[in-house]
Amino acid sequence: MGKVNGLIPDERLTRLSNDEVLRYSRHLLLPEIGVDGQERLKAAKVLIVGTGGLGAPLALYLAAAGIGTLGIVDFDVVEESNLQRQVIHSVRDVGRPKVASARDRIKGINPLVNVVTYNTRLSSANALDIIGSYDIVADGTDNYPTRYLVNDACVLLGKPNVYGSIFQFEGQVSVFYAKEGPCYRCLYPEPPPPGLVPSCAEGGVLGVLPGIVGCIQANEVIKLVVRPQVETGQSPNTSQTLSGRLLLFDAWNTRFRELKLDKDPACPICGDHPAIHTLIDYEEFCGLKRSEDETVEIITAMELKKRLDAGDKFQLIDIREPHERAIAQFPGAKPIPLGQMVRRIDEFDPVIDVVFLCKIGQRSVFAIRALREAGYTGRLLNLKDGLAAWAREVDNSLLMY
């Protein structure tokens, strides 16, 4: 093997066993991978952040491809609503930690893979220690604080970050590797305002979309691992990663587009004069922390039920979108979608308490903030944990989604 400067040092490579030659024979027949590339896959250590929609295909295909060590980070448990797209989990896994379910499935596909699980939330306190042990990070998260955290940790540690994101019918994939090109902050210097972009739990996602995007991410990981062998000239073709390119996929219309990304010289972490030299508070950076003088008053489902039964009068405002209300309606609630809140402020009576209803109680916080900033002086209440809590604690005939 020629001496190369790749992600996987030559001294970590070990020969394939007879069983491995048989298992990975279809890779070995590809001159772009061959024995050298498969040995690099065996020696590689890849961390997958999140074992949900994107993490599922990432883990399945990287395990099948022969990645030697797969780390998986997730603090969540499997829920029934996950099974529509998170194909690494099954019905019998509902209620289990996702990392445990994913580990079992990975081992079922390829028992040769060393699986390291982290049943914890990735944070500024542990990210450098966890990520530092791996060659590549594959970001399968669904929130902005963790995306910025993963990006910054990878830049500080000099690791490639294989990024993917999904929403409804649209997906994005890129490789952020500050040594060679732009990072995530070069594309998105600032996060969007809180509440502007709903989560998949609130906005929905086509089930097959994360499978497509996650598989593209897995492809990028594999290319990054075997690329040193390609660069030696042993392969007739050269591989090009998505570093410096953003791949956009529209599943509803089956269209791919590509945008060129340039490194931002003014980027605060990978630019010419970086200002960020350590991990920060990403909840605060993304505007998700409440200031001390900003308290959102809540009412629990049981409290609301008791007061309604006692005859107390409320303005019940359902801020969900029409297609959500078509699934489940709250009796007596007035529909005012979140985006219409401020321009319909005259429809509120400041004398009567307002209770905002949404799916899980997150969008209601943004509705309260918007009305306060618009000068509304009446009392505003957020139904804690939203209609999901009402269905769980008060009325289980209310369909939840």
Closest CA to 52 of 216, 205, 250, 161: 205
Distance CA 190, CA 10 (A): 39
Distance CA 118, CA 69 (A): 13
Crossing angle (nearest 10°) for helices 301-309 and 386-393 = 70
* Residue 167 token pair: 């929403």
* Residue 136 token pair: 């590549």
Distance CA 49, CA 142 (A): 10
Helix (DSSP H) and strand (DSSP E) numbers for the chain: 15, 13
Active-site residue, selected from the candidate residues 267, 270, 286, 358: 358
End-to-end CA distance of the chain: 54
358 is catalytic: yes
Strand (E) or helix (H) holding 129: helix 127-131
Active-site residue, selected from the candidate residues 154, 186, 200, 286: 200
To which residue do tokens 């830049």 refer?
A: 155
Closest CA to 146 of 295, 291, 358, 288: 288
361: left (phi over 0), alpha (psi -120 to 50) or beta: left
Closest CA to 53 of 162, 176, 142, 175: 142
200 is catalytic: yes
Longest Cα–Cα distance in the chain: 81
Residue positions annotated with a catalytic role: 200, 358
